[in-house]
Amino acid sequence: MTQDDERWMREAIAIARSKGSDPSTSPLGCVIVLDGKVIAGERNQTKELPDATAHAEMMAIRRACESTGELELRGATLYSTLQPCGMCTMASIWSKGGRVVYGAGRDD
């Protein structure tokens, strides 16, 4: 992990910590970085929406596509506090993001 990776992971952690006071909400955060800038940052919102697909990564990918006006996120890096699930991994692949960096593995 590079110094830049650590910087962006800290951003994802800060977003995860902004989950509010609901103890049932998973403290997961994600940022997507393109050309050295955060283009999206989201937290897990499955309970509050309620939406089973509102994982931090899915929400961040949606927001990144909205902010760029593009369907593809070529060259972008997704930083997640937890290893993305299968759904989020596939969304990252479909959006053609460059890299995925995560803090904790599913077995940690």
Catalytic residues, by residue number, are 57
* Tokens found for residue 8: 């962006």
Q: Give the Cα separation of 21 and 71 in Å (integer).
A: 34
Burial class (CB in 10 A: 0-12, 13-18, 19+), 27: middle
Q: Give the Cα separation of 70 and 94 in Å (integer).
A: 12
- Half-sphere exposure at residue 7, Cβ-oriented, CA atoms within 13 angstroms: 8
